[in-house]
Amino acid sequence: MFRTLMRAKIHGATLTETNLNYSGSLTLDAGLMEQLDMLPHEQVQVLNLNNGSRLITYLIAGEKGSGVVALNGAAARLGQPGDKVLLVTYATMSEAEAREFRPKVALVDERNRVVEFLEDAAMAQSGPRP
């Protein structure tokens, strides 16, 4: 049997822009992608905390260090700059791999810079540690 698990998550990112007249995707700071081992064209789920929308698209690397998190194409209708979002990638793995796997989870600040990596993904549900 195979299971699909959360592989990486950016918690609390801020949308920096929307580009309706652009082919669909999510542009993400290449530095964030590197830190969370996310690849260009990798599938990503975007969960908008402001309006409840959920969408699946793919990643495009933005300028490293820019903090860009941009919804492009039709997805641009599902958010606006300033919205808080969760960005989640998944992986399918064997039962044995799934039981040992630990996802990468990062909390980011208002400029989309990593402020903390969570060792236990379950902790992401309660927010930053005191």
Active site residue 90: no
Q: Which of 22, 23, 25, 66 is catalytic?
A: 25
> For the chain, what is the HEC assignment?
CEEEEEEEEEEEEECCEEECCCCCEEEEEHHHHHHCCCCCCCEEEEEECCCCCEEEEEEEEECCCCCCEEEEHHHHHHCCCCCEEEEEEEEEEEHHHHHHCCCEEEEECCCCCEEEEECCHHHHHHCCCC
Q: Which of 58, 66, 90, 126 is catalytic?
A: 58
Active-site annotation, residues: 25, 58
